[in-house]
Structure 1
Amino acid sequence: MRLVLFTGKGGVGKTTLAAATGATLATQGKRTLVVSTDPAHSLADAYGMRLGPEPTEVDRRLDAVQIDSRSLADSAWQRLRGQLGHALSGIGVDALDAAELTVLPGVDDLLALGEVRRLTATKHWHAVVVDCGPTAETLRLFALPEAVAGYLRRVYGWQPVSSRARALSGAAASVMELGNHLESLRAMLTDREVTTVRLVLTPERMVVAETRRTLTALALRGIRVDGIVANRLMPAAGLWRGGAASWLRERRAQQEAVLAEAGAAGLSGVRLVEHRAAEPVGLDALAEIAKELYGGGDPLAGEADDVAPMLRITESDEGYRLRISLPLAPDADVDLARIDDDLAITIDGFRRLVALPRLLRPCEVIGAETDADGLVVLLTDPGGQA
């Protein structure tokens, strides 16, 4: 089973490409579900039919669904919140304080991601293609499982336990249920054999810059990106003449220059899709886009990427060098902090705690440097032995 998530800056056409990918997978014989977690819900417009919160048949072997996260919050979350509030009140926490403690930020987004996992776990489909929201919302969505799990650790003292742990009840059971659910979401997103992200951009410098930051943010989360698509490339004017043809040539040249700059900066293997005069609605129009995007190949193949481990340790004269493989822009704003046995890495405003390997936990951070392959942290052994 494969899970492919499409995201990009608002208005770049990610919904169309996700819909086209799903339709092509179905025609190639794979049972496919296309899911929209984007609050705008334009997936129904792409297929030219009504969609709801339950999978609807679009074509043979092709289903689609638009997740209503607000409705999920009004049902599933209220049950768990009620359990937590009741349990906390039962152990002496004031009722108002208990209600405050059970309000978690981003619950709607978490439930939408949980619904994706539920649909994926049915194993009814060979592939699940997700039309995510715009980049900022998607990055928040991907960060939530780890962030809320940290909240549970601080407020409730939750820790992951195996399924063989002793039976729990009351607040402990409710917290354990939510914590384990969050852990399963994180595991789903970081399973590189199952889950991949496709980034969609238009050939504009601001959009490309956001895409590069998104690549770094996803790498920080351990989430694999297996493709980048440049959408709405102006068609070549060919031998056309006149003012319109001149405008097309100039605009295409500008777009190609942006893509060349992006390639030189590390955004390689970008697939191109040309702009169309008519809005691509319906399976026939989507098939034409998929043909241009995949050339008749397998949409699940993606692009080859570096699957080297994120963390690598080598010895140095001072002690150790810890390489953290990340796609970094030359002007990236990088900040490091040591928090107990973790490194707090912040890059262009995106932050993640990275657990230090056991070998390096007694060491002190004495410096850091960046290069084309990522970040190198310099550590010294306080005992003087490397």
Structure 2
Amino acid sequence: MMSESSPANPPRFLVQPTRFLFFTGKGGVGKTTIAAAIALGLVARGHGVHLSTTDPAAHLAMTMTGNVAGLHVDRIDPKAETERYIAKIMEQKGGTLDAQGQALLREDLASPCTEEVAVFHAFSHIVAEARSAFVVLDTAPTGHSLLLMDATGAYHRQMTRQSTLHDLAGRITTPLMRLQDPDYTHILLVTLAETTPVSQASALQDDLRRAQIEPFAWIINKSLLAAGSSDPLLRQRLSGELKQVDRIRGFMAKRLFFVPWQATPPVGVPALAQLAHDGAPHSNQPSED
């Protein structure tokens, strides 16, 4: 059952040319764990990897709990990014202003919109980084991610208008264009085989498609079916999970991968590396047999 996730034959979304792996989905479905395991799997294959997250809860640091050569781990911290952005604007524009003008500029930058712009700039930098290195991005829960996508779309529309005015069409590549490019980005929707997470993942996929971003695959995490459990007490749960799998396969996902349920939560580098080796997402169809 694990053949497609062996080092010799990794899941397709682990290999070149795609270098930007974007994990998204409802909060609490295991995006961080899977993203970290995939990043470690890439490092084990000799690649340098940047693993980051947009989640303000900073679950990534708690999940990794260790350092690995070839793996750079950080997060987009809204507070730190806002402070950095304000300092940059003050340096660029404040130097030509008197004390009153600088005070007015700083007051203007205190707007809540400043944080949104600062986070988007940090996100754009990470997206562009995948031109030359593997980048694995764990995103915040759905609501936060949609706000980021709104900012990405707004920036794209602004740059498109400017490129038209200045005759630069075709010479500007926006973050949205990179997310829309399946040769550059693979969007991985992570869910649990339960009604609410699947419905929310489906709604998120609809939102992405409206932005002309096509998810590459769905990943069902904590799958009892994929784990091969035969405990009689779990038969009802197994039956319900199979219904959700059929629902996803029939109407939602072009590709579907599974991560088996783990008896012990994979926390820390050794456990995540083991998950990447033995239980990384595979595409076999689980069954109740």
Query: Which interval holds the TM-score relative to the shorter structure?
Result: 0.7 to 0.9
Distance 1:96 1:34, change over 3 A: closer
Structure 1 stretches of 5 or more lacking a match? 50-57, 166-180, 239-244, 297-386
1:124-148 deviation line (CA, Å, top 9, x unaligned):
9531000110112112111113336
Deviation at 1:206, TM superposition (A): 1.2
Q: How does 1:34-53 map to 2 (within 5 A)?
A: 34-49=51-66
- Determine helix, strand or coil for the equivalent of 1:199: strand
The structure carrying a bigger strand percent of its residues is 1
Q: How does 1:111-190 map to 2 (within 5 A)?
A: 111-119=118-126, 121=128, 126-147=133-154, 159-161=161-163, 184-190=174-180
Deviation at 1:213, TM superposition (A): 1.1
Q: How does 1:1-386 map to 2 (within 5 A)?
A: 2-49=19-66, 58-77=67-86, 79-80=88-89, 103=111, 105=113, 107-119=114-126, 121=128, 126-147=133-154, 159-161=161-163, 184-234=174-224, 235-238=227-230, 245-290=231-276, 291-294=278-281
In 1, distance between residues paired with 2:209 and 2:181?
13
Contact 1:31 1:125 in 2 (8 A): no
Q: Give % identity.
A: 24
1:67-125 deviation line (CA, Å, top 9, x unaligned):
222111112145437867999x99xxxx97996699463x4344334224334545695
In 2, distance between residues paired with 1:2 and 1:8?
20
1:263-304 deviation line (CA, Å, top 9, x unaligned):
2223342111122121101233223322323459xxxxxxxx
Contact 1:38 1:133 in 2 (8 A): yes
* Equivalent AA in structure 2 for residue 251 of structure 1: R
1:294-317 deviation line (CA, Å, top 9, x unaligned):
459xxxxxxxxxxxxxxxxxxxxx
Deviation at 1:260, TM superposition (A): 1.1
C-alpha RMSD over aligned residues: 3.6
Contact 2:90 2:106 in 1 (8 A): no
- Determine helix, strand or coil for the equivalent of 2:162: coil
Distance 1:149 1:100, change over 3 A: farther
Distance 1:102 1:237, change over 3 A: closer
Structure 2 stretches of 5 or more lacking a match? 1-17, 284-289
In 2, distance between residues paired with 1:203 and 1:143?
28
1:223-254 deviation line (CA, Å, top 9, x unaligned):
2311110111124333xxxxxx3221221111
Distance 1:97 1:115, change over 3 A: closer
For this pair of structures, how many residues does the alignment match? Answer: 256
1:16-62 deviation line (CA, Å, top 9, x unaligned):
0000010001111111110111101111122113xxxxxxxx32322
1:319-367 deviation line (CA, Å, top 9, x unaligned):
xxxxxxxxxxxxxxxxxxxxxxxxxxxxxxxxxxxxxxxxxxxxxxxxx
In 2, distance between residues paired with 1:216 and 1:263?
16
Contact 1:84 1:102 in 2 (8 A): no
Distance 1:77 1:25, change over 3 A: same
- Determine helix, strand or coil for the equivalent of 1:20: helix
Question: What TM-score, normalized by structure 2, do the two folds share?
Answer: 0.74
- Determine helix, strand or coil for the equivalent of 2:28: coil
Deviation at 1:259, TM superposition (A): 1.5
- Structure number with greater Rg is 1
Distance 1:203 1:48, change over 3 A: same
- Determine helix, strand or coil for the equivalent of 1:33: strand
In 2, distance between residues paired with 1:246 and 1:122?
49
Deviation at 1:149, TM superposition (A): 6.6
Contact 1:47 1:281 in 2 (8 A): yes
Higher relative contact order (CA 8 A, sep 6+): 2
The structure carrying a bigger helix percent of its residues is 2
